[in-house]
Amino acid sequence: MKSLSKQLAMENKLFLRNMDDLFWTIVFPLFFILLYGFIYKDMMWEDYGMRAIDYIMPGIIVMALMVTGIMSSATGFIEDRQKGIYRRLSVTPLKKYVIILSQIINRYMIMLIQTFIIMIIGVLLFNVSISGNYFLLLLVITLGAVCFLSIGFFLVTFVKNARAATPVCMIVFFMLLFLGGIFFPLNIMPDFLRVISNILPSTQLNDALRMVIIEGLGISSMYKELLITGGWIIVTLGLSIKFFKWE
Average pLDDT, the chain: 87
The whole-model pTM stands at 0.91
Q: Where are the strands (E) in 68-158, listed by range?
A: none
Overall average pLDDT of the 69-95 stretch: 79
Nearest to 203 by CA among 217, 221, 185, 220: 185
The distance in angstroms from the start CA to the end CA of the chain is 26
Instruction: Give me the pLDDT at residue 90, please.
Output: 66
Q: What is the pLDDT of residues 221-243, one digit of tens each?
A: 999 999 999 999 999 988 888 87
CA-closest candidate to residue 238, choices 228, 246, 230? 230
Residues facing residue 44 across a β-bridge: 51
Do 107 and 15 form a contact (C-beta atoms < 8 A)? Answer: no
Residue 89 CA to its chain's centroid (Å) = 28
Write out pLDDT tens, residues 1-50.
677 788 778 778 877 787 877 888 888 899 999 999 999 888 888 777 88
